[in-house]
Chains A and B, each alone.
Chain A
Amino acid sequence: MPEIQTKNNTTKVLKMPYFTERKKESLTGYLYISPFFILFTIFSIFPIFFSFYLAFHRWNGLGEMQYVGWRNFKLILDDPMFWKSISNTFIMALMGTLPQLIVAFLLAYALNSSIVRFKNFFRISIFMPNVTSIVAVAIVFGTIYTNSETGIMNVVLSYFNISPINWGSNEWGLKVAISTMVFWRWVGYNTIIYLAGMQSIPNELYEAAKIDGASLWQQIRYITLPLMKPVIIFTVFVSTIGSLQLFTEPLVFLGRTMREEGITMVLYLYREAFMNNAFGTASASAVILFFIIIIISVINLLVANRLGK
């Protein structure tokens, strides 16, 4: 900080005749955000408009496109599999995200706490799953969740007197397997985001609270949570969007069969497009998914704002 001040003293302020301070500031603002909008326009706007356009056409990817009006939407909304994919997505989003954020918060708190040692080791190990490629994850979890009685997960269950589960085809078995895959891969990610947020909270606040005799819970409730609000909103927002777009994990776990017990919304549109070559209905389901995500996100932000007040 002192460095800046000494420099400021020597800087000469030149007033420009036709640029007011205000104008300069907004020009800088536009300039700073322009790279995103330029690249986004080139590489994303066209594909997005294309899929909105496709939603009203019938196209198998190879032949001529044919305008069909709202037919694609009718076909989808009439398909029990589509509704199944929505309910699956919500159930798995809830099973995968909520516990994940809570555990990540607790882990981050522990990592930030002054009484814990070997922090680096713990931080690195907990983030490690996010480093792996999905190919490896698929093989590893494929072995943990096997239908066989001697598979790791079924052996664990047998300790609790639970009979073996067909993880590959059972309604809840599949969902649990996919959710834990998501949980394992992403909990470390949210932990370091929370940790980064917690590190911006000055230690003095906790120390003062401790002197005042505040309990651990009180510290979390009155210092950490309020100051972490923007970061928590951020993670809830990103995780919600992420889990509504859940795709890779179920794809590798289900393989080409795409069983209805585990199909998600994005997987549904992927199946329509790239396995059934029905690009019209795939686009229509993408449009519906897009609006579902917007609605959920708006609810998300409204609730967050309400809680903040």
Chain B
Amino acid sequence: MIIKKKLSKNKPNIFTKLFLYLMLFSGALLSLFPFYWMFVIATNPNHVVNRVPPAMLPGEHLVINFKNVLETIPFFGALYNSFLVSTTVTVSVLFLSSLAGYAFAKLRFKGKNVLFVFILVTMMIPSQLGLIPSYVIITKLGWISDLRALIVPGMVSAFGIFWMRQYIKEAIPDELVEAAKIDGCSQLRIYWTIVVPLILPAFATLGIITYMGVWNDFMWPLVVLKDESVHTIQVAVRLLNDAYVRDYGMIMSGTFWATVPLVVIFLVFNKFFIESLTKGAVK
């Protein structure tokens, strides 16, 4: 408390402040503009997307375009599927990555470094080529047009393990783990009561990133989900493209409204973790 009072007297440089604000403001503006523009197209008839110079104001086709979307694809069913897949995968990735990350960061076992390097190496393989053999595996499992084809391979993530290991290594002092061990805490208990509370920011970050990644993935879902009843929202939105003729107003409307739930989830998730973060920040 005393420190804080002293600080407020020690006023920050006005130029620093100006610079920071300018940077953040232009960053936010450039990031948000394309969203506004998406909305503009989503509320206009098709030909407006081609207007040069581009249209800058929302039009009157908000309802019409979205109605067209609902007539063309099972929008809400697809949202539900996306929600189901993204949530399951995210929960699983958070749990399994933090367990593995903890093991790599704090536990001693033979071959640890080799195995970790192996995980890093797996990230370097371009996945585009495994498509046909992967498809063979999924057909053998009988998972074509089955959400398990998305969920099960996505349950672990090399990236997630890497991220968690780096974070746990830095955020949790070895002494803390050692002390708990000497006190006779089981490993699962150490993980649950010591590690998890201290890595909430890492959870938030990885959770958001994983959720977005799964939600927006379309290459693999396109290949394995054939039936309309199991389409995720990305696959469904692709169906708004007609063979030769494209209604951009409708496509953007579908894309825009498919993004909105994600933004909401992001906001909720973000707020929840930021709060838990500030509460537990008195280290």
Task: Tell me whether B17 is interfacial, beta carbon within 8 Å.
Answer: yes
How far does the alpha carbon of A115 sit from the alpha carbon of B152 in the complex, in Å?
45
Q: Which residues of A contact B54 (CB under 8 A)?
A: 143, 152
How far does the alpha carbon of A210 sit from the alpha carbon of B16 in the complex, in Å?
14
A124 touches B266 (CB 8 A): yes
Interface residues of A in 189-223 (CB under 8 A from B): 189, 192-193, 195-197, 199-200, 202, 204, 207, 210-211, 216
In the complex with contacts A11-B184, A36-B96, A128-B32, A29-B126 CB distance below 8 A? no
B100 touches A297 (CB 8 A): no
Q: Which residues of A contact B258 (CB under 8 A)?
A: 133
Q: Which of B16, B31, B38, B274 contacts A136 (CB 8 A)?
A: B38
A110 touches B163 (CB 8 A): no
Q: Which residues of A contact B28 (CB under 8 A)?
A: 121-122, 125-126
Question: Could you tell me the distance in whole angstroms from the C-beta of B41 to the nearest C-beta in chain A?
Answer: 7
Contact with B along A126-169 (1 / 0, CB 8 A): 11111111111101110100101011100100000000000000
Contact with B along A108-127 (1 / 0, CB 8 A): 00110111100011111111
Interface residues of B in 194-244 (CB under 8 A from A): 194, 201-202, 204-205, 208-209, 212, 216, 218, 234, 237-238
Question: Could you tell me the distance in whole angstroms from the C-beta of A234 to the nearest C-beta in chain B?
Answer: 5
Q: Which residues of B contact A286 (CB under 8 A)?
A: 125-126, 128-129
Interface residues of A in 230-246 (CB under 8 A from B): 230-231, 233-234, 237-238, 241, 245
Task: Tell me whether A48 is interfacial, beta carbon within 8 Å.
Answer: yes
Question: Could you tell me the distance in whole angstroms from the C-beta of B84 to the nearest C-beta in chain A?
Answer: 18
Q: State which of A38-46, A79-87, A254-262 sits at the interface with chain B.
A: A38-46
Contact with B along A17-52 (1 / 0, CB 8 A): 000011011111110110111011011101110110
Interface residues of A in 268-309 (CB under 8 A from B): 269-270, 273-274, 279, 282-283, 286, 289-290, 293-294, 297
In the complex with contacts A43-B153, A136-B256, A270-B128, A106-B187 CB distance below 8 A? no
Residue of B nearest to A50 (CB): B133
B38 touches A199 (CB 8 A): no
How far does the alpha carbon of A47 sit from the alpha carbon of B17 in the complex, in Å?
52
Q: Which residues of A contact B156 (CB under 8 A)?
A: 35-36, 39-40
A47 touches B20 (CB 8 A): no
Q: Which of B109, B184, B194, B259 contacts A131 (CB 8 A)?
A: B259
A113 touches B128 (CB 8 A): no
Q: Which of B152, B167, B216 contacts A134 (CB 8 A)?
A: B216
How far does the alpha carbon of A50 sit from the alpha carbon of B107 in the complex, in Å?
34
Q: Which residues of A contact B41 (CB under 8 A)?
A: 139
Residue of B nearest to A204 (CB): B3
Contact with A along B253-267 (1 / 0, CB 8 A): 001101100110011
Q: State which of B6-14, B60-68, B70-78 sits at the interface with chain A.
A: B6-14
Q: Which of B31, B124, B166, B274 contacts A293 (CB 8 A)?
A: B124
Question: Could you tell me the distance in whole angstroms from the C-beta of A4 to the nearest C-beta in chain B?
Answer: 6
Q: Which of A11, A48, A247 contacts B183 (CB 8 A)?
A: A11
Chain A's interface: helix, strand, loop or mixed, by majority?
A: helix
In the complex with contacts A25-B109, A234-B166, A273-B100 CB distance below 8 A? no
Task: Tell me whether B162 is interfacial, beta carbon within 8 Å.
Answer: yes
Question: Could you tell me the distance in whole angstroms from the C-beta of A66 to the nearest C-beta in chain B?
Answer: 17
Q: Which residues of A contact B271 (CB under 8 A)?
A: 120
Q: Which of B30, B102, B259, B262 contacts A184 (CB 8 A)?
A: B30
Q: Which of A26, A43, A152, A234 contacts B137 (CB 8 A)?
A: A43
Q: Which of A11, A32, A204, A269 contacts B107 (CB 8 A)?
A: A32
B259 touches A133 (CB 8 A): yes
In the complex with contacts A36-B161, A128-B31, A128-B32, A152-B155 CB distance below 8 A? no
Q: Which residues of B contact A47 (CB under 8 A)?
A: 129-131, 133-134, 137
How far does the alpha carbon of A37 sit from the alpha carbon of B274 in the complex, in Å?
33
Question: Could you tell me the distance in whole angstroms from the C-beta of B259 to the nearest C-beta in chain A?
Answer: 6
Q: Which of A121, A126, A136 contacts B255 (CB 8 A)?
A: A136
Task: Tell me whether A266 is interfacial, beta carbon within 8 Å.
Answer: yes
Interface residues of B in 153-202 (CB under 8 A from A): 153, 155-156, 158-159, 161-163, 166-167, 169-171, 180-181, 183-185, 187, 193-194, 201-202
Q: What are 19 of the A-B contact pairs (CB < 8 Å)?
A: A22-B108, A25-B108, A32-B107, A33-B161, A42-B137, A44-B125, A46-B137, A115-B16, A116-B24, A120-B270, A128-B263, A132-B35, A132-B216, A210-B10, A265-B126, A270-B128, A283-B129, A290-B124, A293-B124
Measuring CB to CB, which residues of chain B are less than 8 angstroms from any residue of chain A? 3-4, 6-7, 10, 12-13, 16-17, 20-21, 23-25, 27-28, 30-32, 34-35, 37-38, 41, 49, 52-54, 96, 99-100, 102-104, 107-110, 112, 115, 119-126, 128-134, 137, 152-153, 155-156, 158-159, 161-163, 166-167, 169-171, 180-181, 183-185, 187, 193-194, 201-202, 204-205, 208-209, 212, 216, 218, 234, 237-238, 248, 251-252, 255-256, 258-259, 262-263, 266-267, 270-271, 274, 277, 281, 283
